[in-house]
């Protein structure tokens, strides 16, 4: 897909097919890892906020 979300196709020479396939697999893995990172970042932010609230209550 391009930047606008439109699907595009381009013929791939047979000798480049393994490299293109590997690049696609790496891109998919990277997307998966980035999604996991975003999820972990959100969870850590929530935990930090919770700990901050608890700390404030313990000091009071």
Query: Can you give the pLDDT of all 60 residues of the chain as single tens digits?
Result: 677 888 888 888 999 999 999 999 999 999 999 999 999 999 999 999 999 999 999 998
Q: Which of 38, 46, 8 is nearest to 54 (CA)?
A: 46
Contact 8, 1 (CB under 8 A): yes
pLDDT score, position 39: 99
pLDDT score, position 17: 94
pLDDT score, position 10: 82
Domain boundaries, the chain: 15-59
pLDDT score, position 14: 93
């Amino acid at each position: 897909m391009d930047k606008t979300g439109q699907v595009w196709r381009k013929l791939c020479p047979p000798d480049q097919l393994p490299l293109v396939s590997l690049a696609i697999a790496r891109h998919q893995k990277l997307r998966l890892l980035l999604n996991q990172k975003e999820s972990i970042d959100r969870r850590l932010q929530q935990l930090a906020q919770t700990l901050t609230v608890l700390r404030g209550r313990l000091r009071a």
